[in-house]
Chains A and B, each alone.
Chain A
Amino acid sequence: MTSEPQPVKSDAIYVYDGTFDGFLTVIFDIYALKRKPVQIVSERLWQPGFFETPIHTITVAVKSERVWNSVVTRSNTQVTRMFYLAFASELTGVEMTLYGYLEKLFADTTGAYYKNMLDDHSFELYRMSRKVSHEIRRFHGFVRFQETSDGLFFAAIEPDHDIVSLLAPHFARRFGNQPWVIYDRRRDKGIFYKKPEIHEITLTDKQFDAITGNIPHNLKSEEEDLYRSLWKAYYKAINIPERKNTRLMLRLLPRRYWKYLPEKQ
Chain B
Amino acid sequence: MDEKIMHKLRILADSAKYDVSCSSSGSGRARASGGLGDAAPLGCCHTFTEDGRCVSLLKVLLTNVCIYDCAYCINRRSNDIPRATMKVTELVDLTMNFYRRNYIEGLFLSSGVIRNPDYTMEALLRVAKALRTENRFGGYIHLKAIPGASRELVHEAGLYADRMSVNIEIPSENNLALLAPEKNFTGVLQPMNQLKVSIEEYRDARKKIKKAPLFVPAGQSTQLIVGASPDNDRQILTLASGFYNEQNLKRVYYSGFIPVNAYDQRLPALRKAPLLREHRLYQADWLMRFYEFKCDEIVNDQHPQLDTDIDPKLAYALRHPYLFPIDLNTADYEMILRVPGIGVQSAKLIVYSRRFGHITLAHLKRMRVALNRAKYFITTRELPAQLTSLQPSLIRRKLQLPPEQQQQYIQLTLF
Contact = CB atoms under 8 A, between A and B. Distances in A.
Contacts of A127: 366
Interface in B1-59: 2, 5-6, 9-10, 13-14, 16-18, 31, 34-38, 40, 42, 44-56, 58-59
Nearest to B17: A238
Contacts of B94: 230
A109 to B, nearest CB: 15
Interface in B321-356: 349, 352-353, 356
Interface in A214-259: 223, 226-231, 233-249, 251-253
A117 interface: yes
Query: Number of contact residues on A: which range applies?
Result: 35 or more
B98 A227 contact: yes
B97 interface: yes
B353 A117 contact: yes
Interface string A140-169: 111111110000010100000000000000
Given A240-B18, A240-B258, A245-B408, A117 B46 contact: no
A95 to B, nearest CB: 21
Contact of B50 (A173, A178, A239): A239
A177 B353 CA distance: 45
Interface string B77-116: 0000000000000000010011011110000000000000
A119 B366 CA distance: 11
Given A235-B47, A238-B13, A263-B47, A227 B101 contact: yes
B359 interface: yes
Interface in A107-161: 112, 115-119, 123, 127, 137-138, 140-147, 153, 155
Interface in B347-372: 349, 352-353, 356-357, 359, 363, 366
Contacts of A119: 356
A226 B6 CA distance: 9
B272 interface: yes
B98 A242 contact: no
Contact of B352 (A117, A144, A170, A239): A117
| Listed residue (B2, B5, B50) with the most chain A CB atoms within 10 angstroms of its CB | B50
B411 interface: yes
Contact of B356 (A116, A223, A226): A116
A249 B49 contact: yes
Contact of A153 (B34, B37, B38, B100): B100
B385 interface: no
B410 A251 contact: yes
A77 to B, nearest CB: 17
A44 interface: no
Interface of B: 2, 5-6, 9-10, 13-14, 16-18, 31, 34-38, 40, 42, 44-56, 58-59, 94, 97-98, 100-103, 258, 272-273, 275, 349, 352-353, 356-357, 359, 363, 366, 408, 410-412
Interface of A: 112, 115-119, 123, 127, 137-138, 140-147, 153, 155, 170-171, 173-178, 223, 226-231, 233-249, 251-253, 261, 263-264
26 contacts: A115-B356, A116-B356, A117-B352, A117-B353, A140-B40, A141-B45, A141-B46, A147-B101, A155-B102, A173-B38, A177-B34, A227-B98, A235-B49, A237-B10, A238-B14, A239-B17, A239-B49, A240-B18, A240-B49, A240-B258, A245-B50, A247-B410, A248-B411, A248-B412, A249-B50, A252-B54
What 3 A-B pairs are tightest by C-beta distance, nearest first?
A: A248-B52, A243-B51, A237-B13
